[in-house]
Amino acid sequence: MKEKLPKTINYHLEPGYVYVSGTGSVIRTVVGSCVAVLLWDPRRKAGGMNHFVHPRAHHHDRPTTRFGSVALPALLRMMKREFGSVPAELHAQIIGGANPLQFTHKTAADDNVAVARSFCDRMGIRVVSEDIGGHMGRKILFDTATGQVAILKVQQLRREDWGQLIH
């Protein structure tokens, strides 16, 4: 008798959003200078991802998940609430933070990476891998059931990269 595999849900994560799944989703997104932080709970076979644009909100900004200072705690809160995840058991991957070639000085991309690293360190979340910096954009596919990640690097992000990454 053949074992029936559960149907996988594909979810495209837009900038400024957070998504978690414990039912075997493939979360996909595209980052340039933005950063995506992926959290995976190997014990509970659940994971989540955020995609933030700016490191932190300034006094005149409305604090939304477009900011790492909001998106990172939101992702952790959702993992705790939905799956009972414990920070010390989570595996984090930090992806993105590319700098366009025309910039030779520090940019928001560098600050985005620093905010992600600092948050994981403060919360006791182990960072198991990073694919950061450089000058290339990244297409990301994250399987929340297995914790596996595929990263496709691209020289230039195109409008169509923001649409469907897989069918």
Name the residue ranges covered by the structural domains of the chain: 9-155
Whole-model pTM: value is 0.88
Predicted local distance difference test score (pLDDT) of residue 127: 98
Rounded Cα distance, 128 and 59, in Å: 33
Which of the four CATH numbers 3.90.1570.10, 3.40.50.10140, 3.30.1330.200, 3.40.50.300 does domain 9-155 have?
3.30.1330.200
Give per-residue pLDDT as tens, 99-141. 976 555 567 899 999 999 999 999 999 999 999 999 999 999 9
User: In the structure encoding, which two tokens stand for residue 3, read together?
Assistant: 């074992």
Please classify residue 121 by burial: count the beta carbons closer than 10 Å to its beta carbon, then call 0-12 exposed, 13-18 middle and 19+ buried.
exposed
Give per-residue pLDDT as tens, 16-69. 999 999 988 999 999 999 999 999 999 999 999 999 999 998 878 788 999 999
Rounded Cα distance, 133 and 146, in Å: 26
